[in-house]
A and B are shown apart, each in its own frame.
Chain A
Amino acid sequence: MNFYRFTDSLATITGQSNECPHCRTAVRVSNGGCLRCLLQAGLTEDEDPRSESLDAFLSEME
C-alpha cells in the first residue's frame, strides 16, 4: 500500500506505538490525548448541565 497520500491527509504515521496507559490503544489526536479516552469522556453525562458555563467563566477571568 502506498502511504504517501494517506500520511499527508489522514494521519501521521509513527514508527513506534504510543500506547495509552489507561485503555492501551495507540491512536492519538492533536492535543496528544488518547482518542479512545477522549471518546469515552462523552459517555459521562454531566450532573448539572445548568451550572455556570465555561463561556461566562472565561469572561469573568481577569
Chain B
Amino acid sequence: MSTVKYSTSQLTFLAAVLWRRCSFRVEPGRPSLDEPFLADGSPSDNERTECAQGPAHRPPLVLFNRRTSLESWFLSSTPGNEATSRPGAFVTTRWSLVLSGANSKSREKDTHAALAELCRIYWRPIFAFVSRRGYSAEDAEDLTQDFFVMILEGNWLQKANPSRGRFRSLLLKSLQNFLSDAADKTYTRKRGGDVSFVSWDAWMAEAPSELSMSTQTVQSLPAERLFDVQWAATVVERALRRLRDECERKGRLRVFDALSAYLIAERDDVSCASLAATLGVPQGTVKKLLYRMRQRYRWLLRDEVAQTVENPADIEDELRHLCGALAASSEQAR
C-alpha cells in the first residue's frame, strides 16, 4: 500500500478547495450543491421545499456554509411543508418544534402555534375517545374543549415530561389522565360557561370526515383502539386531501378523481384502457400518472406522520403501530 505525502502548500491548497466546496451561494432555480450534507442521498433542502410548496415558494438566497446552512434551515422553516420522510435528513416537524421550544421563552409563540395546529388537526381522535367512554355528545364536546384548553393554556408539556414520546401517545396518555380527573370531580360543567377554544362547526366544515365503519366495528372497539383508528384516518385523509389540492391547483382535479381510487390497486385491477378513455389521454400517460400519484401520495403520507414524531426515523414505527391497530380492530369486530 503506497502512502501519498503532501507538502504544507499542497495541504493549504486542498483545505481551500474543501472550504470553497462547503461554502457557496444557492440561487433559486439552480441545482442545489449541498449534497455533501445529505449523505443518505435524500433531496436537498431546496428540492424538498420546492417539492412541497411549488416553485413560487423557493427559499430566499442564502449564503451559507456547513454550519449556518443547518441553522438557517431550522430557523426559517415552516412546519408542515418541508419535512421529508427520508431517515437521516434534517427536518423540522411540528412536534419536534414543540418539543424543542417547550422550555424556551423566546420561542413560546412558535411552539404554541405548532401545538395549536396539531390539536386542530387531531381533534377527532380525542373526541372519539371521549365519546366512546360513554359521555353524551354535549359532554364529550365540552370535555374535548376543556382538554385542549388545558393543553394550550397550561404548562402541559412541562408537566407531561415528554422525554420524549410521540405526539399521539403523549396526547392519549394525557387524555386518559384528564378523563380520570374529570370522573373524580363528577363532570358537571355548564355548557358555554368557561373558556372556548373549539369551534365545532368550523372544524367540521373545514375537513369533513368521510370515514366509513360498520356498526359492528364501532361497537366492538375499546376507546384506545378507536382513538388509533381515528388517528390513522386523519393522517390518510390529510395526505389524500393534499394530493387532491395539488392536482386541483394544476387544473387536473379530474386526474385525481379518476385515479385516486387506484392508489393501492393491484396492477391487474387497473384498466388503463378505460382510464385512458375517461381522461382522454394515452394509456402510457395513465401509467405514468398513476406511478407518480402513488409516489407523491406516499411522500405526503409520510410527511403527515413526520409532523407528529420527534425523529424521522420513527415514521416507520408509527405507521406500523397504526396498521397494527387497524388489524387488531378487525379482529375484535369479528
Contact = CB atoms under 8 A, between A and B. Distances in A.
A17 B216 contact: yes
B214 A30 contact: no
Interface stretch (B100-108, B111-119, B171-179, B291-299): B291-299
Interface in A1-52: 1-6, 8-19, 23-46, 49-52
Interface residues of B, number: 74
B131 A27 contact: no
B137 A27 contact: no
B214 A57 contact: no
B43 A3 contact: no
A6 B132 CA distance: 9
B132 A1 contact: yes
Residue from B246, B260, B264 whose CB has the most chain A CB atoms within 10 Å:
B264
A54 B246 contact: yes
B233 A35 contact: yes
Residue from A5, A36, A54 whose CB has the most chain B CB atoms within 10 Å:
A54
Contacts of A41: 263-264, 294, 297-298, 301
Contacts of A27: 211-213, 217, 229, 233, 326, 329-330
B326 A36 contact: yes
Contact of B237 (A2, A29, A37, A51): A29
B216 A42 contact: no
B313 interface: no
Interface residues of A, number: 53
Q: Is the interface of B mostly helix, strand, loop or mixed?
A: helix
B289 A2 contact: no
Interface in B213-271: 213-219, 229-230, 232-233, 235-237, 240, 246-247, 250, 252, 255, 260-261, 263-264
B94 interface: no
B11 interface: no
A49 B43 CA distance: 8
B237 A1 contact: no
Contact of B137 (A5, A54, A55): A5
A43 B294 CA distance: 12
A9 B198 CA distance: 14
A18 B330 CA distance: 11
A54 B292 contact: yes
A13 B213 contact: yes
Nearest to B266: A22
B301 A50 contact: no
Contacts of A6: 128, 131, 137, 218
Nearest to B295: A46
Contacts of A8: 204
B213 A40 contact: no
A45 B124 CA distance: 28
Nearest to A24: B330
Nearest to B326: A36
8 contacts: A23-B326, A25-B326, A29-B237, A30-B210, A49-B43, A53-B296, A54-B289, A61-B285
Given A26-B333, A31-B260, A39-B322, 16 more contacts: A4-B137, A8-B204, A10-B128, A10-B131, A14-B213, A14-B214, A15-B215, A24-B330, A29-B210, A31-B240, A35-B232, A36-B326, A41-B264, A42-B315, A53-B292, A54-B289
Closest 3 CB pairs of A and B: A5-B137, A30-B210, A25-B330
